[in-house]
Amino acid sequence: MPHVTMYTTTVCAFCLRAKSLLGQKGVEWEEINLDEHPERRKEMIQKADGRRTVPQIFVNGRGLGGYDDICALDKEGKLDSILEMDPEKIAPPITAHYRVLILGSGPAGLTAAIYAARANLNPVLVDGNEPGGQLTITTEVENYPGYADGVQGPAMMDDFRKQAERFGTQFIQGQVEKVDLSNRPFTVCLEKGDCFTVDALIVATGASAKWLGIESETRLRNRGVSACATCDGFFFRGKPLAVVGGGDTAMEEALFLTNFATKVSVIHRRDSLRASKVMQQRGEKNEKIEFVWNSVVEEVLGNEKDGVTGLKLRNIKNNEVSTLPVEGMFVAIGHVPNTQIFKGQLEMDDLGYIKVNSGSTYSSVEGVFVSGDAADSVYRQAVTAAGTGCMAAIDAERWLAIQEMN
Ligand SMILES: Cc1cc2nc3c(=O)[nH]c(=O)nc-3n(C[C@H](O)[C@H](O)[C@H](O)COP(=O)(O)OP(=O)(O)OC[C@H]3O[C@@H](n4cnc5c(N)ncnc54)[C@H](O)[C@@H]3O)c2cc1C
């Protein structure tokens, strides 16, 4: 068995995802939690060649990088041999038929699983690359009914998952790469090559964070560029930071980062925030937060050794270019629905949100039900996602009953 070491922090969605992936492979690892051992932070940065994000994973001392890196290695089929897995123990691709398959393990997918399992539909749920969904990258959730004192996002999703497990939901680790909805039963294939046929499909693939899309952002990702303040804020204690964006997520990230940073500059392309009133007020009241209006990031300055050293900004009103000295940039510019695999098969709006019949979760293809943020460009909340997850399971159950009667 190789010696696997993983540096983590306590609230870190990508650490949970890395543990879930390695756990599925039957690998054991030594965990070094940097919240509990802050004195080992320098050691990790040195070993990881300057990287300042968690998790960082090492196999026999060789750095593999973070969660995205091990996912990429897995997709290329290289991870199993790096982990020295016995080829005879690597399962061949499977094929199977399921009555109800749910795609996504956020609030929508897990709620659909709870309802479908309690209706004896024996649901099978595919986790996707973000087990637990978007809420695993936030800290306090204060508005989900039933948690009077608030709850940490990852802990809440753990509760959802345990409840779905209690009624017998079967979980499959993996990301769906291809679907064929042209014939029933539908066909759903994972990246790893496993393919399933299904009678009813519940789509709960949610949404993902957007990036700016500039070269320097990609190059310096994990070296000061991040999209998850709760995961990586810890590494920037006593440093000036920037958050890019003007919505609720940007305000939430900026407020959280004030726990560590000397100053947080919020860079926004407009001259006012899009965030809700309450979040705006909290941001404006915080002395550590300053706003840089009408500005866009042209380049992230820095190099792979020193990390981020500043941002080259352009004022879009007068085209003036300036440099903002910061040591980290957190991108919080919204989300795109994870619906690309359904393009051309399910009706969508211009932004890629899947269209459903009003007041239901029926999509344009009979037998495919859509819930949560994948079909919701308006509310995008955990409670609405859970609500439509419940609707999707009930819609699927009733639709299956009619099919089976005929
Ligand atoms: C930082 C942050 C803070 C937030 N705070 C709050 C809050 O306080 N209160 C609140 O109500 N809401 C909050 N939200 C919004 C809330 O998280 C979302 O509305 C909710 O998670 C949407 O749930 P969902 O199940 O539709 O999708 P998601 O949570 O996005 O989950 C999508 C799931 O689909 C899976 N998936 C994606 N593609 C595939 C594929 N191809 N194959 C298989 N699986 C796939 C993913 O792995 C993931 O498990 C917050 C969001 C963010 C980003």
Kindly state if the Cβ of 392 falls inside 6 Å of ligand 1.
no
Q: What is the pLDDT of residue 305?
A: 83
Q: What is the pLDDT of residue 264?
A: 98
Active-site residue, 248 included: no
> How much distance in Å is there from the Cα of 13 to the middle of ligand 1?
12
Q: Which helix (H) or strand (E) holds 38?
A: none
Q: Is 288 left (phi over 0), alpha (psi -120 to 50) or beta?
A: alpha
Contact 7, 44 (CB under 8 A): yes
Summarize pLDDT for 318-350 with one digit per residue, the tens.
Answer: 999 999 999 999 999 988 999 999 999 999 999
Verify that 230 and 305 share a domain, yes or no.
yes
Kindly state if the Cβ of 339 falls inside 6 Å of ligand 1.
no
What CA–CA distance (Å, rounded) separates 294 from 305? 31
Q: What is the pLDDT of residue 153?
A: 87
Kindly state if the Cβ of 245 falls inside 6 Å of ligand 1.
no
Q: Which domain holds residue 61?
A: 4-89
N- to C-terminal Cα distance for the chain? 54
Q: Closest Cα to atom 44, ligand 1: which residue?
A: 128
Verify that 225 and 325 share a domain, yes or no.
yes
Whether residue 59 has pLDDT greater than 90 = yes
Count of positions (residues) in the chain? 406
Ligand 1 atom closest to the CA of 230, numbered from 1: 1
Verify that 14 and 157 share a domain, yes or no.
no
Q: Closest Cα to atom 19, ligand 1: which residue?
A: 381
Whether residue 189 has pLDDT greater than 80 = yes
> How much distance in Å is there from the Cα of 371 to the middle of ligand 1?
11
The full DSSP string for 236-273 is GTT-EEEEE--SHHHHHHHHHHTTT-SEEEEE-SSSS-
Burial degree of 314 (CB within 10 A; 0-12, 13-18, 19+): middle
Give residue 192's pLDDT band: very low, low, confident or very high (50, 70, 90).
confident
Verify that 168 and 61 share a domain, yes or no.
no
Distance of CA 38 to the CA centre of its chain: 26
Ligand 1 atom closest to the CA of 108, numbered from 1: 25
> How much distance in Å is there from the Cα of 310 to the middle of ligand 1?
31
Active-site residue, 71 included: no
What pTM, to 2 d.p., does this model score? 0.78
CATH value at residue 126: 3.50.50.60
Query: Scanning the structure block, which residue is given the tokens 């709870």?
Result: 114
Verify that 29 and 113 share a domain, yes or no.
no
What are 175's two structure tokens?
């990301």
> How much distance in Å is there from the Cα of 373 to the middle of ligand 1?
7
Q: Which helix (H) or strand (E) holds 58?
A: strand 56-59
**Structural domain count of the chain:** 3
Distances (CA, A) of 73 to 55, 77, 78, 108, 360: 15, 6, 5, 29, 40
Bridge partner list, 357: none
Q: What is the pLDDT of residue 61?
A: 93
Query: Scanning the structure block, which residue is given the tokens 């709620």?
Result: 111
Verify that 195 and 220 share a domain, yes or no.
no
Give exposure, 45-71, as e/b (b: 16+ Cβ within 10 Å).
bebbeebbbbbbbbbeeebbbbbebbb
Verify that 132 and 149 share a domain, yes or no.
yes
Verify that 204 and 341 share a domain, yes or no.
yes
Share of the chain above pLDDT 90, in %: 70
Judged by DSSP in three states, 98 sits in strand
What CA–CA distance (Å, rounded) separates 147 from 136? 16
Active-site residue, 228 included: yes
Kindly state if the Cβ of 161 falls inside 6 Å of ligand 1.
no
> How much distance in Å is there from the Cα of 61 to the middle of ligand 1?
34
Per-chain mean pLDDT for the chain: 92
Summarize pLDDT for 359-386 with one digit per residue, the tens.
Answer: 999 999 999 999 999 999 878 889 999 9
Kindly state if the Cβ of 340 falls inside 6 Å of ligand 1.
no
CATH value at residue 13: 3.40.30.10
What CA–CA distance (Å, rounded) separates 98 from 79? 29
Verify that 116 and 161 share a domain, yes or no.
yes
With helix as H, strand as E and coil as C, how does 307-372 read?
Answer: EEEEEEEEECCCCCEEEECCCEEEECCCEEECCHHHCCCCCECCCCCECCCCCCCECCCCCEEECH
User: How much is the average pLDDT of 67-73?
Assistant: 90
Contact 242, 217 (CB under 8 A): no
Contact 388, 372 (CB under 8 A): yes
Verify that 200 and 238 share a domain, yes or no.
no
Summarize pLDDT for 227-239 with one digit per residue, the tens.
Answer: 888 777 888 999 9
Q: Which helix (H) or strand (E) holds 278?
A: helix 277-285
What CA–CA distance (Å, rounded) separates 127 from 172? 6
Of 139, 132, 383, 387, the C-alpha closest to 260 is 139
What CA–CA distance (Å, rounded) separates 405 from 42? 65
> How much distance in Å is there from the Cα of 160 to the middle of ligand 1?
13
Catalytic residue among 194, 232, 373, 395: 232
Which of 63, 89, 115 delimits the end of a domain? 89
Judged by DSSP in three states, 4 sits in strand
Q: What is the pLDDT of residue 92?
A: 65
Verify that 250 and 304 share a domain, yes or no.
yes
Kindly state if the Cβ of 108 falls inside 6 Å of ligand 1.
yes
Which of 40, 66, 89 delimits the end of a domain? 89
What CA–CA distance (Å, rounded) separates 229 from 220? 16
Distance of CA 379 to the CA centre of its chain: 18
Verify that 84 and 22 share a domain, yes or no.
yes
Which of 65, 89, 113 delimits the end of a domain? 89
Q: What is the pLDDT of residue 281?
A: 93
Q: Best substitution site from 17, 115, 125, 135 to test ligand 1's pocket, by max atoms within 8 Å of Cβ?
A: 135
CB atoms within 10 A of CB 235: 22
Q: What is the pLDDT of residue 233?
A: 86
Catalytic residue among 12, 15, 231, 390: 231
